Chains A and B, each alone.
Chain A
Amino acid sequence: AQSVTQPDIHITVSEGASLELRCNYSYGATPYLFWYVQSPGQGLQLLLKYFSGDTLVQGIKGFEAEFKRSQSSFNLRKPSVHWSDAAEYFCAVGEESGNTGKLIFGQGTTLQVKP
């Protein structure tokens, strides 16, 4: 069965510092991978997605992620964090079998940004 692991429950970085959020997945074939962000009291917003092709994916708000098949990872990065990036971040994988689009989410990583 597919699964997603986000090893870091909580991360604190200083404003202007670089950021990397880790995501590992368990999947049989080429995965469909996503990163979503949830601000307090808000729904989930898609940051970026990987289906195939170039393993370095650019997203919104200056985020990027790299798909590494050998490591079963899809880590999210940002070179310089802004205070407004403080939120909860979810990695997700799209279901493999059947004709559905359900997403399987990791437990989430809460990002705190220090001034």
Chain B
Amino acid sequence: DSGVTQTPKHLITATGQRVTLRCSPRSGDLSVYWYQQSLDQGLQFLIQYYNGEERAKGNILERFSAQQFPDLHSELNLSSLELGDSALYFCASSVTVRGYNEQFFGPGTRLTVL
């Protein structure tokens, strides 16, 4: 158990819908990262927050957004869902901005868009 929790574990929804994925980082970790794992794209970085502020953006679609709340949990919002958004979404957390000590990954949320 990494100490990072993600809910829900599984999500099945339809095209055009909107969903919210939630991540609670390890106690004391200020950085939260979101990654997408799909069969065709592999593991890709989406976005990073540090202590409530956006720190870096990767290949995140405009239909996707995220935020980090004062209690440091983070939510990833996916809207106007398409079939291609079906993937495993990971959250990771680290103490520092750079995260080079270690990024601790949650178990992921598996999103299926039908």
Contact = CB atoms under 8 A, between A and B. Distances in A.
Interface in A70-104: 90, 94-95, 98-104
Contacts of A103: 33, 35, 45, 99, 103
Residue with the highest number of chain A CB atoms closer than 10 Å, among B35, B42, B44: B42
B113 interface: no
Contacts of A42: 107
Interface residues of A, number: 24
Interface residues of B, number: 28
B43 interface: yes
Contact of A100 (B44, B55, B92, B102): B55
A108 B42 contact: yes
Contacts of A41: 107
A100 B48 contact: yes
Contacts of A107: 42
B97 A101 contact: yes
Contacts of A51: 100
A103 B90 CA distance: 13
Contacts of B33: 101-103
A80 B54 CA distance: 43
Interface string A33-45: 0001000011111
6 contacts: A49-B100, A49-B102, A94-B99, A99-B97, A105-B35, A108-B42
7 A-B pairs closest in CB distance:
A101-B99, A100-B56, A105-B43, A43-B105, A44-B105, A101-B98, A102-B45
Interface of B: 2, 4, 31, 33, 35, 42-45, 48, 55-56, 58, 90, 92, 94, 96-100, 102-108
